[in-house]
């Protein structure tokens, strides 16, 4: 089994403490549903922009946002497809695994979804590399490190997955676990292309499965993209003989701290004074209800037919769902009878 080598330093522990405090503020802040949807949407868009940008994608944040909302942009087919693929994966994080475990099949499927329609050889999507490649900085061409041989990849990935699903990994802080997996996956470099994007999705998936970021508010990729030379430098700094990840984890955990601090500031500003005064706290919504709110946020309203088609459920189930949301004062009915629709109820 894979065995990570690292030491807890004062810097790592201090960052983890600050992350925990900021996360507590975020999760306990009284937010109206529309703001939760907005935060999630913004984080996904920023992640898609930053993660693809690190690897050479030329779309701006504004163009990525336009693509996310179905608007056309002037760009190459490959650049657009890379972003659309990344958006699609992050928008369906809850469907990337069959349960709480991450399997080899899941990882191959994630890579396939991320790279479909973007690689010169379509057979490279979702399959381990069959030819040797080096890890290099796409901006400078500098070789960062040489990954293991092709024939070693399947065994190394299996060992990493075995560790990832072990009690030892689950006993670690999710941030430390995600940082370890991120580095080891990039080191193994199991695919011809798309390794960085897959590694960053895996880190986000670990946060989601471990209950650290179930609402998907956090965008770590901005931190990497804001200073790419530092990102490549710290990856390159790991001694390939000892594989001591301490310095890498200081960088990774520090990035999570900065990213969560930014979310905390935003959440504090958005926190509803009305909800705080009435001491109602947060309005807890199910995943289905959040998708209904997201639909209304994008389209202004939603109908019973929209909900039926979205979830493939009966009219009776739709009525039950919207009745709950009306009682929670999340939505309000507009019109009557067959012409009834629903809008978000804010304030």
Hey, what domains does the chain have and what are their CATH numbers?
A: 10-270 (1.10.3290.10), 287-344 (1.10.10.10)
Mean pLDDT of the chain: 89
Instruction: Please state, in angstroms and as integers, the Cα–Cα distance from residue 291 to each residue in 33, 130, 265, 301, following that order.
Output: 11, 40, 25, 12
The 10s digit of each residue's pLDDT in 1-24 is 899 999 999 999 999 999 999 998
Label residue 274 by pLDDT band (50, 70, 90).
very low
Q: How far apart are CA 67 and CA 51, in angstroms?
A: 15
Phi, psi torsion values for 98, nearest 5 degrees: -90, -10
pLDDT, position 88: 96
The predicted model scores a pTM of: 0.78
The 10s digit of each residue's pLDDT in 277-322 is 444 556 667 878 888 887 876 677 899 999 999 899 999 999 999 9
For residue 106, the number of C-alpha atoms closer than 13 Å in the C-beta half-sphere is: 21
Share of the chain above pLDDT 70, in %: 92
pLDDT, position 271: 60
Phi, psi torsion values for 313, nearest 5 degrees: -120, 165
Q: What is the mean pLDDT of residues 230-238?
A: 88
Q: What is the mean pLDDT of residues 214-223?
A: 85
The 10s digit of each residue's pLDDT in 98-119 is 888 999 999 999 999 999 999 9
SS3 letters for 29-88? CCCCHHHHHHHHHHHHHHHHHHHHHHCCCCCCHHHHHHHHCCCCCCCCHHHHHHHHHHHH
């Amino acid at each position: 089994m894979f065995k990570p080598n690292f030491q807890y330093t004062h810097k790592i522990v201090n960052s983890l403490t600050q992350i925990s405090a900021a996360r507590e503020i975020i999760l306990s802040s009284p937010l109206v549903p529309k703001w939760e949807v907005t935060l999630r949407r913004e984080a996904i868009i920023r992640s898609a922009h930053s993660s693809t940008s690190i690897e050479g994608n030329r779309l701006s944040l504004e163009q990525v946002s336009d693509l996310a909302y179905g608007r056309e942009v002037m760009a190459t087919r490959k650049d657009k497809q890379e972003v659309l693929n990344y958006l699609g994966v992050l928008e369906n994080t809850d469907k990337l695994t069959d349960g709480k475990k991450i399997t080899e099949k899941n990882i191959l499927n994630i890579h396939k979804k991320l790279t479909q329609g973007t690689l010169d050889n379509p057979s490279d999507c979702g399959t381990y590399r069959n030819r040797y490649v080096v890890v290099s900085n796409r901006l400078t061409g500098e070789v960062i490190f040489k990954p293991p041989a092709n024939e070693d990849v399947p065994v190394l990935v299996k060992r990493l997955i075995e560790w990832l699903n072990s009690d030892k990994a689950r006993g670690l802080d999710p941030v430390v676990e995600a940082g370890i997996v991120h580095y080891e996956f990039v080191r193994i470099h199991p695919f011809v292309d798309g390794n960085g994007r897959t590694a960053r999705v895996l880190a986000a998936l670990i946060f989601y499965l471990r209950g650290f970021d179930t609402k998907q508010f956090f965008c770590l990729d901005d931190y990497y993209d804001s200073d790419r030379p530092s990102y490549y430098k710290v990856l390159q700094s790991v001694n390939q003989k000892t594989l001591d990840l301490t310095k890498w984890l200081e960088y990774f955990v520090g990035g999570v701290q900065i990213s969560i601090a930014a979310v905390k500031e935003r959440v504090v500003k958005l926190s509803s004074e009305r909800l705080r005064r009435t001491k109602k706290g947060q309005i807890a919504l199910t995943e289905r209800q959040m998708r209904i709110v997201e639909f209304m946020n994008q389209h202004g309203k939603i109908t019973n037919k929209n909900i039926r088609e979205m979830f493939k459920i009966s009219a009776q189930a739709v009525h039950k769902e919207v009745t709950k949301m009306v009682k929670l004062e999340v939505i309000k009915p507009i019109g009557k009878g067959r012409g009834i629709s629903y809008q978000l109820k804010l304030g």
